[in-house]
Every structure is written in C-alpha cells, then in structure tokens.
Amino acid sequence: MGLIYGSTFYQVDPTDVQLMMGVTFQATIFMALGQTSQVPNFMAAREIFYKQRAANFYRASAFAIANSVALVPQAIFESLIFGSLVYWMGGFVVHAGHYFIFLVLLVLTNLVFAAWFFCLTAMAPNFNIAKPMSTFSIVVFVLFSGFVVSKGVMPDWLIWVYWLDPVAWCLRALSVSQYRAARFDVCIYEDVDYCAEFSATMGEYFLVQYDVPS
C-alpha cells in the first residue's frame, strides 16, 4: 500500500494544498482503517478473557495493558514501512526531524485507533454490533477530520467532535509539521511574495485554506 500511495502521489507540488492535504489525510486514514481488522481478534480474545477473569487469573487492567503493549511493535513496523514510502515518494520536506515526526504521528494514530476499536469491542455485546459500530465511528472521524468539511463551516454545536477527533489531530499535526518547515515558512516561494499579497508566509497561507491553526 505504501508503494501504491507513494506512486499515486509522487512528488506532490506543495503549492497544491488540496493534494498535499489529501496525501496526509490518506496516510492517516490508512492507519485508522487498518485497525478495523483487529475487531474479530479482540472479540475472540474477549471470550477467553471472560473465562480467565472469572477464575481470577488476572485483573482486567492487566489484560488491557498487555493487549495495548503487544500492539506497539506491530504499529511501529507498519508505520515505518508505510510511512517511509509515502514520505519520500510523496515529496515531503527533506529533513530528518520532520520525517521522524511523521512516523511518530502515524504510530500514535495506529495505537489510538487500535485502542478505540478495543474499547468498542469491550462495550459491544457481540461481533454483529461491534463491526457496524466501528464502521460508523470511522465515518464520523472522517467527516469531522477537517479535510472533507473544513473547521470553519462545521456547525458550532458540533465543533466539539472536531476537537476530539484523532484523525483531525493527526492531520493538523502533519500539515503544520510540513508547511511550517523552514523550506515553506518563507515569504517568497517560486517568485510569489506571500507576505506582500496575503500578509502571511507561504506555509501559513496554505494552512489557513483548511483552517489549520499554526
């Protein structure tokens, strides 16, 4: 998937903010959707947990912590392979620090959604309820991520969903990391004086297009 994403969005023009935001959005969503496959595993593990917990083998907290820790190596491996291909093929900032931030954010997104689906599985009475719940939650996260519908046009009474949305947090962090890099945080870029025309640097100007605070 990393090769497909990287070749599809090969060396994206940073002045095409919609495409650049699209790359970061797709990378984030891929990490989120990848964790939906864990729902059947979580459900199967829950049945075993019920039996062992009833026999006082261990506390519920021990099961939850062990499950979360066990997912860390997988999250790091997935994010490292996928993130590296997307980052360098996609034409992001050539800087070790920004590359590291990109990978860390993907790992955190991976773990957050693994924990989210684990939580849904724990609450749902059975798999037939857990699966639709996980799918519906993804739709909500996508809708309020700030990419499909920008923050500025969201209803005021629903803006709290935007600030709780992990996809939105990752998307904002990745966007700010890229557009506030030294390469883009300049007044003049490709013969366009953004400070003179828009009273903002090139990076700030494009972040404003998606209501991303910087």
Residue 169 lies in a domain: no
Predicted pLDDT of residue 203: 84
In-domain check, residue 102: yes
Note the pTM of the prediction, 2 decimals. Answer: 0.88
| Strand spans (E) along the chain | 188-189, 192-193
Residue 206 lies in a domain: no
Give 27-57 as a 3 state SS string: HHHHHHHHHHHHHHHHHHHHHHHHHHHHCCC
Mean pLDDT of the chain, nearest integer: 87
Q: Containing domain of residue 42, as a range? A: 2-148
Task: Decide if 179 is inside a domain.
Answer: no
Quick: pLDDT tens for 107-135: 999 999 999 998 888 888 888 888 888 88
Long-range contacts: 17-24, Cβ < 8 Å, 24+?
17/206, 17/209, 17/210, 20/175, 20/178, 20/206, 21/147, 21/171, 21/175, 21/210, 22/147, 23/86, 23/90, 24/171, 24/174, 24/175, 24/178
- How much of the chain is in helix, strand and coil states, percent to nearest 5? 75, 0, 25
Q: Is 176 helix (H, G, I), strand (E, B) or coil?
A: helix
pLDDT of residue 142: 92
For residue 175, give both structure tokens: 């966007």
Using pLDDT thresholds of 50, 70 and 90, give the confidence band for residue 212: confident
Question: Does the residue 209 lie in any domain?
Answer: no
Predicted local distance difference test score (pLDDT) of residue 161: 92
Q: How far apart, in whole angstroms, are the C-alpha atoms of residue 148 and residue 161?
A: 14
Count of the separate structural domains present in the chain: 1
Q: Does residue 154 lie within any of the structural domains?
A: no
Distance CA 120, CA 39 (A): 9
Please report whether residue 30 resides in a domain. Answer: yes
pLDDT tens, residue by residue, 144-172: 988 888 888 888 898 999 999 999 999 99
pLDDT higher than 90, residue 43: no
Does 185 fall in a domain?
no
213: left (phi over 0), alpha (psi -120 to 50) or beta: beta
